Amino acid sequence: MNLKLLKKSLYCGFLFWGGTLIAQQDSQYTQYMYNPITINPAYAGSRGVMSIFGLYRAQWVGLDGAPKTGAASIHTPISDTNVGIGLSFVNDRIGPSDETNISVDISYTVPVSERYKLAFGVKATANLLNVDYTKLNIYNPSDPRFQNNVDNKFSPNIGTGAYLYSENTYIGLSAPALLQTKHFDETADYNTSSSFVAKEQIHYYLMGGHVFDLAYNLKFKPSALVKMTQGAPLQVDLSANFLFSEKFTAGVAYRWDAAVSALVGFQVSDGLFIGYAYDAETTRLANYNSGSHEVFLRFELFKSYDKIISPRFF
């Protein structure tokens, strides 16, 4: 079977299995530890400066219709308050679908000890969904399910999160979309009761990490991210990064039953950090793609009197 046709056939089968589209897991990032605000609104302002982040991920390169994700965010603390605010943008493209999320994040932080702070956050999101069925190889062109494209279907959502952190430790728990909204719900055949629904499921995230000082100019940070949603397998990401001389980062990661990854990053200046990750599949899907690539840039604005003694590792 032609691989292109196979991929799109599988996508269609998934899309309308049982008449209902069950939302799979949200956008996945190998370098999640550098931009948690997309999944946890309590992260907003936690770095103590204005932080601007941009990321592009090309997944399963060489496989037609494979996911491509673009993400951007900006967040900052509000001077002389315990409040942080943020704005984030995520665009996901897979097969015929193009989905965009625009979110506003607000956090409130309280000190719980001399070392730790606890932040609570809320996220308000606008979701826009487009589905272009002309991008599919449809076996039956007269199938009523594929006659009308989905154009900028809007649905709102709200999420929440908590984030406990110090200079070298963090743990977060969040659910960025609490409403099980329907992107669209339309009848396939007006002579029957059959209908087709795209439904947003609640996703839960648990993340954590710690920085160990191993030696002079050498730090080690293990971290983990656990994702859970109804109708999809539990996903666990484990990573181990090393920071050399406060400048160069290198590490490896493992996505349970899915992929192994290599990560690198470089602190170009006090405010600019760039990173790259490569994922190699550990499933049979590896036979049909050349892996996944992810690149990001983080730029932070410091006041003239600020001085960085040691760049934050998360």
Query: Does some domain include residue 74?
Result: yes
Query: Does some domain include residue 34?
Result: no
CA distance 156 to 88: 15
Q: What are the backbone angles phi and psi of residue 145, rounded to the nearest 5°?
A: -70, -20
- Residue type for position 61: V
Whose structure tokens read 């998360």? Answer: 314
Query: Does some domain include residue 17?
Result: no
Query: Does some domain include residue 309?
Result: no
Whose structure tokens read 């892996």? Answer: 291
CA distance 180 to 202: 6
Query: Does some domain include residue 11?
Result: no
* Residue 236, domain CATH: 2.40.160.40
Q: How many structural domains does the chain have? A: 1
Q: Could you write out the DSSP letters of every residue in 198-265?
A: EEPPPEEEEEEEE-EEEETTEEEEEEEEEEEETTS--EEEEEEEEEETTTEEEEEEEETTTEEEEEEE
Query: Does some domain include residue 306?
Result: no
CA dihedral in degrees (120, 157, 53, 260; nearest 10)? 90
Whose structure tokens read 């999420």? Answer: 159
- Say how many C-beta atoms besides its own lie within 10 A of residue 125's C-beta: 22
Per-residue model confidence as pLDDT tens for the chain (314 residues): 333 433 443 444 444 333 444 444 578 899 999 989 999 999 999 999 999 999 999 999 998 889 999 999 999 999 999 999 999 999 999 988 899 999 999 999 999 999 999 999 999 999 998 888 777 766 666 666 666 777 778 999 999 999 999 999 999 999 999 987 765 555 544 444 445 555 667 899 999 999 999 998 999 999 999 999 887 888 999 999 999 998 999 999 999 999 999 999 999 998 999 999 999 999 998 999 999 999 999 999 875 545 454 556 77
pLDDT of residue 228: 92
pLDDT of residue 25: 57
pLDDT of residue 28: 86
Contacting residues for 23 by C-beta, under 8 A, at least 6 apart: 198, 199, 200, 201, 229, 231
* Structural domain boundaries enclosing 86: 40-179+198-301
Query: Does some domain include residue 121?
Result: yes
Query: Does some domain include residue 188?
Result: no
